[in-house]
Every structure is written in C-alpha cells, then in structure tokens.
Structure 1
Amino acid sequence: MVNWYWIDLLGTGVFAVSGALSALGKKMYHDLFGIFFVGFLTAVGGGTLRDIIMGAYPIAWIRDPNYLLTIIGSVGIALAGRRWWFGRLRRPLLVFDTIGIGLYTILGMQKALSFAVNDWAAMLLGVMSAIFGGVIRDTLVNDLPLIFDRQVYATACLAGAILFWVGRSAGVDPTVNFWLASSIITIIRLVAIRYGWALPRIN
C-alpha cells in the first residue's frame, strides 16, 4: 500500500533541493534566507495552489510542521553538498526536478481524486502540483520557466497521469500503479533531456 504522506514529504524534500540548487547556481551563496525562500516556494508552490483550488484546508504545510522541517533539512543538504552536486552531476537541478515532477504529478492526482473531482480535472491538478513550484523557482532566479520552453516537461507529466488513470481504472495494485506511472514521467523527462527532444514550434 502506498503511504501518500511519506511520498508527499519525499517530493517536498526533492523539490526543496532543486530550488536551493537553482539559487546556488545563481551564486546566491551569501543569501541564506534567499536560498531557503526559493527552496520553500519550489517545494510547496504546486501543492498549495492545488489545495486552494480544491478547498483542501488547512493546507498541509501549515497544518503539519514536518513539511517545514523537511524543507529546512533538504535546503541544508543542498548547501552542505553544493560542491559535490555541481562537481559530480552534469545537471543537478534537472535531476532533482525530474524526480520531483514524477512523484508530485501522481501524488497530486491521487489527492485530487480523493476529493471526488472528475478524472480529467484530477489529471490537470496533478500536473499543476508538479510544475507550478518550478515556475515559481525559475521566475525568482530570473530563468525562463521550463513549462514555457519547448522542452518535453508538462507533456511527460500528463503522460504519467494518463497511465495512472488507466492503471487505476483497470484495478492495478495501487503501489505498482504509483511507481510505474511516476517512473514513466521520470524516464520520459530524462530521455528528452538526454536527446534534446522538444515539442514542435508553432509558427
């Protein structure tokens, strides 16, 4: 059985690391609050917007202090290991962002379904959960948000959401269904980065 609470904390931590690494990539070494702020908004932005739309109050990170503790710890890990991240991984930000969108798309969709929204709305809310924190992150550090680029990004999230819906409708074991759909998103995104896949340009 999938423990959605721990998956939520894991996704929160992964996104917090991606936000902190993004800030560090902009040489914000001496602005600890700024680094934390970017990590915090990256981690909670998508889920907060989803919960506001659904009327799911109180919002998880306001109700449960473990979310803030997870964010603080994750930002600390990013700071402590910044030389390792940038020295060992070619694109550390993209690695953590990719893992995050895989987890959060399905997590957000499942939470939406638990509020009895229709299936298509649940898919869109899942995608929103995954990408909106990254939009905030990229905007804060003055980068073009990935969703507005031609990269295969939201498309990968939507593909995983559809797969999760199909598996759920077919009665696939929830744990298998979650990890399969989440992994598909991550794999599509990583392969797209590796081979430079992009969506067609509209003239």
Structure 2
Amino acid sequence: MFETATATLDWLGVIVFTITGALVASRKQMDFVGFAMLGTATGIGGGTLRDLLLGSPVFWTQRPAYLLACLVVSCAVFFVAHIPQSRYRALIRLDALGLALFAVAGAEKAIQAGASGAVAVVMGVVTATFGGVIRDLLGGDSPVILSREIYASAAGAGAVAYVSLAALGAPRELALGSGFLVALLLRAVSLRRGWTLPRYRPRSRLPYN
C-alpha cells in the first residue's frame, strides 16, 4: 500500500509535467520530435536530478515504463493540443498541479532514502521545479523559477508541511495531502492575486567619512 501510493504520486507528477512540456512545444509549433523531447525532459527531469543527488538509482532507468509513458503522452498532446481554448491557461494550471504533486513526492522519496528533514525539503523543491526549468529553457522562455512569482517557495512550503507533519507522527495520508494542498493553494492564490516575492532594488552608496 505504501509503495503503491508513492508510485501513484510519481506517475501523476510525471504525466502532468509531460503534458506541460508538450503544451509548450505546441505553442512553439515544434515537430513531433520536439514534442517528445520537451515532454519527456519535463516529465522526468526533476526526478532524475533528485535521484542523482540522493545517490539512488534513477527511477526511469529501473522502470522504463515512465519513459514510454512520457513518449505516449507527448504524442497524444501533439494531436489534441489545439483543443484547449487557451493553452497558456492550461499550462499554468497543470504546472501548479505538477508542482504540488512533485513537492511532496520528492520529499517523501528523500525521507525513504534516509535523508534528514532539511534535505527532504530541498529534494521536494528540486523535484518540483527542475523539470519546469528544463521545459522553459528548451522552449526558449525565461525559467519561471527565476522570476518573482511564488513558485519554488510554494513547492518549499508544501514540502515543509509534509516533512513537519511526518516528523510529528501524523498519518501518512494526512501529511501527504496537507503538503500537496499547501503547495497547490499557495501557487494558485498567488497567481490569482498577483502575489510576488520582494525584488532587490539598487541602493545609493553610503558616503565615506
């Protein structure tokens, strides 16, 4: 049961992020190879970096079905990407969902690997954001993680909520669900209300005495 729930989170995150990558390919009017590359890199990118940093076997090399699923989903989006009225809105909503899923899934995998709570939070953020970074770079866009948007911080908040509740002995389902909701709601509300993080502004130099 424990492994099944973890695998479900992984699958959902991979599929959702693969769709966002393929939607970017559609906006850029790429060919089928572009769809496959962008969708696959987005779907497995965050989990790949997480496993490499944890010193664990990279998940899709052990279970190639993940790779096949990325290719199939990318292929499907190639034929149906024109259906959503606004692909950008669909991209933003799916990205928020994938962010929340991977924030808790990444943190949980780190805990399973014996990492500390702090490392688990970092792995949650890495898993949730790195696929999006790859997607934006390959799509020729500025990575959203480098903007003022509440993005990585939303993933971090979700991972912190999960790790904190797990450390307090809360039921696993409650910890995972709470972490997921914290990340998803924070990202969604920040998009709706235009919340951003403070930006650095140059200051005048202090005069020498």
Given that residues 27 and 87 in structure 2 are in contact (C-alpha distance below 8 angstroms), is that contact kept between their aligned partners in structure 1? no
Amino acid at match of 1:159: A
CA RMSD, aligned part only?
1.4
Equivalent residue for 1:45?
45
Between the aligned residues of both structures, percent identity stands at: 34
- Give how far 1:37 is off: 0.2
Q: Distance in 1 between matches of 2:149 and 2:107?
A: 22
Q: Deviations over 1:105-141 (max 9, x none)?
A: 1101111111111110110011001100100110011
Q: Distance in 2 between matches of 1:102 and 1:48?
A: 17
Q: Distance in 2 between matches of 1:88 and 1:38?
A: 19
Amino acid at match of 1:54: L
> What pairs up with 1:109-148 in 2 under 5 angstroms?
109-148=107-146
- Give how far 1:20 is off: 0.3
Calculate the TM-score normalised by the size of structure 1.
Answer: 0.93
- Partner SS state of residue 83, structure 2: helix
Decide which of 101, 104, 109 is 2:102's aligned counterpart. 104
Equivalent residue for 2:204?
none
Equivalent residue for 1:160?
158
Equivalent residue for 1:7?
9
Amino acid at match of 1:48: T
Aligned pair count reads: 199
Equivalent residue for 1:74?
73
Deviates more, 1:137-146 or 1:1-10: 1-10
Q: Which has the higher contact order (CA 8 A, sep 6+)?
A: 1
Q: Distance in 2 between matches of 1:18 and 1:88?
A: 13
Q: Deviations over 1:31-52 (max 9, x none)?
A: 1011110011101111111111
Equivalent residue for 2:64?
65
Q: Distance in 2 between matches of 1:144 and 1:151?
A: 12
- Give how far 1:79 is off: 2.2
Q: Distance in 2 between matches of 1:110 and 1:171?
A: 14
Given that residues 81 and 87 in structure 2 are in contact (C-alpha distance below 8 angstroms), is that contact kept between their aligned partners in structure 1? no
Amino acid at match of 1:23: A
Calculate the TM-score normalised by the size of structure 2.
Answer: 0.90
